[in-house]
Amino acid sequence: MSAYRRNKTLAVWLALIFGVLGLHRFYLRGPGDWVGWLHPIPAALGLWGVDRVLLYGQDDKLSWILIPLLGMTVAASCLMAIVYALTDREKWNRQFNPGLPADASPGGTNWLTIGALVAALLMGTIALMGSLAFGFQRYFEYQVEEARKISQ
């Protein structure tokens, strides 16, 4: 780990705003973090699903799978923001600022951290519930259509 200080509040906001791109992981672990490089893939696939719905309509079956990927990626990023925000100062500094004392200020929580926590709870819930509702609704509508075809 490098010698610069990793601020908890900044990490929470990065996870909240740019989490689908993995920027919070690059901030905390550096550009060599392979998990951070994987973050944009499901987000891009989900955006492709949104594009397919705009082009082909809601009956496009591939978009039923792709769109929830975007919602799950946003929800996972918000979950990471929540985990970061709720990490206590000593654990944060031990994990991300090992050269600093356990009570150093970069691991502290302030009102900006709490604001990001509330926003992450709101955005994560909306993204998760919206993607689940879309996926299940389209799946069950498809099942009803297939049952009608069989019964005729």
pLDDT in tens, 37-67: 999 999 999 999 999 999 998 888 898 889 8
Give per-residue burial for 62-87: e unless 16+ CB within 10 Å, then b. Answer: ebbebbbbbbbbbbbbbbbbbebbeb
pTM for the structure as a whole:
0.86
What confidence score (pLDDT) does residue 3 get? 64
pLDDT more than 90, % of the chain? 68
Work out the average pLDDT over 92-104.
91
- The dihedral formed by the CA atoms of 114, 39, 96 and 2, expressed in degrees to the nearest 10: -130
Lowest mean pLDDT among 28-32, 91-95, 139-143: 139-143
Per-residue pLDDT at 77 exceeds 70: yes
Which position has the higher pLDDT, 80 or 151?
80
* Residue 19 DSSP class: G
Contact assessment for residue 104 and residue 31, using Cβ atoms and an 8 Å cutoff: no
Smallest Cα–Cα separation from 48: which of 58, 59, 62, 38? 62
Contact assessment for residue 75 and residue 134, using Cβ atoms and an 8 Å cutoff: no
What confidence score (pLDDT) does residue 17 get? 96
Work out the average pLDDT over 70-76.
93
Per-residue pLDDT at 104 exceeds 80: yes
Per-residue pLDDT at 1 exceeds 70: no
Work out the average pLDDT over 146-152.
87
pLDDT in tens, 112-140: 999 999 999 999 999 999 988 888 888 88
